[in-house]
Each structure stands twice: as structure tokens, then as C-alpha cells.
Amino acid sequence: MSQEGINAALLGLGTVGTGVYKVMRNQKPEMQQKLNTQLSVRHILVRNVEKHRDKVDDPTVLTTSFDEILEDPQTDIVIELMGGIEPAYTYIRSAIEAGKNVVTANKDLIADHGGELMQLAEENHVELRFEAAVAGGIPIIGPLKSSLAANEIRTIMGIVNGTTNYILSKMTNEGMDYEDALAEATELGYAEADPTADVEGFDAGRKIAILATIAFHSRVTFRDVYTEGITKITAKDIAYAKTLGRVIKLIAMASNTPEGIEVKVHPMLIPETHPLASVSGSYNAVYVDGDAVEDVMFYGKGAGEMPTASAVMGDVFSVARRIAEHSVGSTRDNVYRSIPVKRIENTRSCYYIRMEVEDKPGVLATIASIFGNNSVSIEQVIQKNKIKKDAELVIITSSVKERHIKDALLILESSSVVRRVATMIRVY
Ligand code: NAP
Ligand code: HSE
């Protein structure tokens, strides 16, 4: 910290970087009162200075050299907003080792290397914060670590990807095509540089890995998370869900069960009356069940320039206060348990299965006996549409083990009366 105040360096000036720069500028007049010191942007790392010159008040802060930032003893906080693993990983490590505090929105990095980087920060007596890595503008990491710290967290269930929630909302409420909705989400700055991470559930998988680690005090990485995306969801399934009084959402879920941690991301039919059902567009929500608090839900914008900048700047302000109070380096990872992660085959759910079958007597009985022989009991059957000579059958099962449903589907797929199993979606 220099005599003039606290200095920050931004790495990246894309969607979130630009938002952070704007918030810094907007907050300038209040900074002294809020922080008891000044906070300035001293460097901004970009790949091409010319491209960004018009975006900033003082273009001399733009640089293409990370070493310039690293070697500047006046830089107190490095704010990493480039995304991806490299060079972000190397830059963050070097910054911590050089005694600089780090704030990042990079869930890819934290989901894979969070433990190691937290340890490095502890060893170097600096802060490492990543509130914006999960659910954009919603404060969730801070509350889990502080306000809810006295709880034994049992379950976290949420909508933590703005892009897919935007797509599913547009498909459900406006009948928009998947491709058009994805293009809009990209245009609005919600999607990742490669939107595969959003639509295949990887982004939500990284976020639930981070939340599970913090909530259960046990290391959960992205590799532990079962992920299924929304690319196979059709207008037909959305319509069937509606007739069942349900909506389809991409749900990220982590539970601490006596047999281990369950952690997964997949589309789910949830009742229209469930609080998560009304979370639309780029909004996210995280539902936390703790032994003392019981149910508590966090809701807000899960992506986009300014909401994400709000979360980043919350971390920056909190680190700046610690610098001003000379108390940096007290952050703890707080991972003190080692709980095994359950395989998806051993988890339980109800299932929605849509299939095309031969339209003749005895078919339903054959299908019911395949389910029965595999310990799957049927809760509801809808035979809705004729497809040429075939029939479309929608079945809702009772709560069964995933391995039983998968065994049953394998046999159904090879059965002479089943043309194809079109969709399998879990039901809440
Ligand atoms: P973005 O718009 O693609 O911006 C990334 C910026 O980093 C670009 O300006 C890019 O430069 C720059 N950059 C990339 N590699 C660089 C390098 N090697 N050297 C210098 N600059 C480099 O991404 P974003 O949406 O702002 O996301 C940034 C981070 O926030 C990611 O980790 C993302 O997952 C996370 N996040 C995003 C959101 C959101 O709503 N967008 C929400 C929460 C968290 P060019 O301009 O030259 O490409
Ligand atoms: N691509 C992410 C989303 C950005 O759509 O939620 C916020 O992390």
C-alpha cells in the first residue's frame, strides 16, 4: 500500500474486466469513506493495447507485459479476469508468491486448483478471493463461509449457469429455438468464450464443485462432478413437462449423505411451485439446506458485465479493507474433512423417460415387465402422440437407483417393441 492508497492491476478487459473498471470509476467519489483510503487501477493487462485504448480514461495503464505488474511493488491487488487455465494459473501463482493479493472470477481455475492456490496464499500471507466464480452477482461463497458457518450443510441445489437458464427460459416461455437463444445469450455477454462449457453443464459443474468444497469442508473437484447438459432438451420435452405441471431447469446439486457426497449437474423436471422454477433468464438462485438455518435461498443475476463486477468488487473492497487494517493473510481454506464422492450409479432419483414404441396390444405390459425386472417401479404413464404407426410413451418412475434405470434402458433399447428411447430426464 502506497501513501496515495491501494493499487490494483486488472488482468483482462473483456466483459467482466470492463464492468470492474466501470464500478471502480463510479465508486471513486465514495472510496475514501467506504475504505478509509483510495483505490486506483494502476495497470490493465491486455493482449492488444490499441484495441482497448478508447475504453479507459488513462491509456498509459494499459500494458501487454505481466512482468511489469509483477515487478511493481506498488501493486497490492491483482484482479484476474482473463479466464481459462493458462496463463491465468501461472500469473496467479506468481502474483501470490510475489506477495500480492488476488481476486479472480475464474471458476475453471478455482474448481481444479483452488486448494493448492489457497494453500499458497496462506503460506505467503496474502488473500485469495473468488466470490464471482460462482453465480455471478449473488453473494454465496461469503455467506457460506461466514453467516452460515455454524451450520452442517446438508444440500445445495441451484441454477448456477446464466446462459443455459436464459436458453431454457426462452425455449419455455417464448418457444424460441435453442440456437437463437444461445446466440442471444452470447451477445449479452453471459456465455463463456467457448459456450460448450455452458451448454454441456461443465461451467455449472465447476461452480458446484467449488460450493461443495466450501459447504462440506471436503475437497471436491470438477472431475468428481457428474455432468449432463441441455443440448438434448427439445420443445417436445418442455411441452410434456408443462402438462405434468413442471418446468425443465439445469440443476446443480450437492448433498452430504451418510454414504458420501453426491455432486451432479443435469436437466431436471421441477414442480412449477418450486422456488427454483420461477428463476428465469440470466438469473441464478442457490438453495441451501443447513441443519440450523433449514432452507435459505440466494437469488440474483448470475452472469453479465455489471452483476459479476459487483461480486469482484465486493472481494476487492474486502481485501482493500484488510490491507488498510494491516490484517491480510488471515483467509483459511477450511477443508479439514475427506469425504468420498458417490458414483452417479449409486444415486437415486425419479426419471422421466420418453420413448417411441410399437403401437400394438401387449407393448405396455412388455415395457412394464422390463422395468419391473430391473427394480424400477412406474409412477405415471402418458401415451400422448401417434408417430406414423408408432406411439410416443412418456413414463415417470418412482425414486430408483441410477444403475437400475440405466440397466432397464439398455434392455429397452434392444427390445423389438421399442423404436427408440428419446430422452431420459431426472425428476425432482
Ligand atoms: P472475456 O469477455 O472473454 O474477457 C477476457 C479478457 O481477457 C479479454 O479482454 C481478453 O483479451 C483477455 N485475455 C485473455 N487472455 C489474455 C492474455 N493471455 N493476456 C492478456 N489478456 C488476455 O471473458 P469474461 O466474460 O469477461 O470472463 C472473464 C472471467 O470471468 C472468466 O474466468 C469467466 O469464466 C468469469 N466470469 C464471467 C462471467 C460473465 O458473465 N461473463 C460471470 C462470472 C464469471 P482480448 O480482448 O484480446 O480477447
Ligand atoms: N457463462 C457463465 C454463465 C458466466 O452463463 O453463467 C457466469 O459464470
Instruction: Write the pLDDT tens digit of every residue in 382-406.
Output: 977 777 789 999 999 999 999 999 9
Q: Report d(CA 192, CA 382) in Å as an integer.
A: 38
pLDDT at 3: 62
In Å, how far are 93, 95, 246, 328 from 101, measured between CA atoms? 11, 7, 45, 8
- Asked if the bond preceding 143 is cis, omega within 30° of 0, the reply is no
CA–centroid distance, residue 250 to ligand 2 (Å)? 13
DSSP state of 291: T
Indicate the CATH number of 6-136+305-324 among 3.30.230.10, 3.40.50.720, 3.40.640.10, 3.40.50.1360: 3.40.50.720
Q: Which atom of ligand 2 is nearest to the CA of 192?
A: 1
Q: Report d(CA 369, CA 59) in Å as an integer.
A: 72
DSSP-assigned states of every residue in 12-48: --SHHHHHHHHHHHHHHHHHHHHHSS-EEEEEEE-S-
Residue among 105, 112, 163 nearest 134 (CA): 105
Cβ of 204 below 6 Å from ligand 2 = no
- Concerning whether 207 is annotated as a catalytic residue, the answer is yes
Strand partners, 341: 261
CA–centroid distance, residue 92 to ligand 1 (Å)? 15
pLDDT at 376: 97
CA–centroid distance, residue 320 to ligand 2 (Å)? 26
Q: Which atom of ligand 2 is nearest to the CA of 284?
A: 6
Q: Which protein residue's CA is at the shortest distance from atom 4 of ligand 2?
A: 303
Alpha helix stretches (DSSP H) within 284-360: 305-324
pLDDT at 4: 74
Measured between its terminal Cα atoms, the distance across the chain in Å is 51
Instruction: Write the pLDDT tens digit of every residue in 213-236.
Output: 999 999 999 999 999 999 999 999
Considering every ligand atom, which ligand is closest to the CA of 108? 1
Torsion of Cα atoms, 214 then 219 then 222 then 227, to 10°: -80
Q: Which atom of ligand 2 is nearest to the CA of 107?
A: 8
Best mutation site among 190, 308, 310 for ligand 1 pocket (most ligand atoms within 8 Å of CB): 308
DSSP state of 234: -
Q: Report d(CA 16, CA 309) in Å as an integer.
A: 6
pLDDT at 1: 65
Q: Report d(CA 219, CA 339) in Å as an integer.
A: 8
Cβ of 392 below 6 Å from ligand 2 = no
Strands 39-45 and 418-427: unpaired
Considering every ligand atom, which ligand is closest to the CA of 46? 1
How many residues does the structure list for the chain? 428
Considering every ligand atom, which ligand is closest to the CA of 132? 1
> Taking the chain (428 residues) in consecutive chunks of 10 residues, what is each chunk's mean pLDDT?
84 97 95 91 97 96 98 98 97 98 97 94 96 96 96 98 97 95 94 94 98 97 97 95 97 97 98 96 96 96 94 97 89 89 96 95 94 96 82 96 97 95 97
Q: Which protein residue's CA is at the shortest distance from atom 45 of ligand 1?
A: 47
**3-state per-residue secondary structure call for 351-418:** EEEEEEEECCCCHHHHHHHHHHHCCCCEEEEEEEEEECCEEEEEEEECCEEHHHHHHHHHHHHCCCCE
pLDDT at 334: 87
Q: Which atom of ligand 2 is nearest to the CA of 207?
A: 8
Cβ of 15 below 6 Å from ligand 2 = no
Instruction: Write the pLDDT tens digit of every residue in 231-261.
Output: 999 999 999 999 999 999 999 999 999 999 9
pLDDT at 147: 96
Q: Which helix (H) or strand (E) holds 174?
A: helix 162-174
Task: Tell me if 107 sits within 8 A of 85, measured CB to CB.
Answer: no
Q: Which atom of ligand 1 is nearest to the CA of 311?
A: 43
Domain 347-427, classified CATH 3.30.70.260, yes or no: yes
CA angle 330–331–333, rounded 5-degree value: 135
Cβ of 162 below 6 Å from ligand 2 = yes
Task: Tell me if 128 sits within 8 A of 88, measured CB to CB.
Answer: no
Task: Tell me if 266 sits within 8 A of 226, measured CB to CB.
Answer: yes
CA angle 273–270–131, rounded 5-degree value: 95
The residue ranges of every structural domain in the chain are 6-136+305-324, 141-301, 347-427
Cβ of 198 below 6 Å from ligand 2 = yes
Cβ of 267 below 6 Å from ligand 2 = no
Cβ of 87 below 6 Å from ligand 1 = yes
| Fold category of 141-301 in CATH | Dihydrodipicolinate Reductase; domain 2 (3.30.360)
The pLDDT > 90 percentage for the chain reads: 93
Which of 107, 207, 249, 264 is an active site residue? 207
Cβ of 190 below 6 Å from ligand 1 = yes
Cβ of 203 below 6 Å from ligand 2 = yes
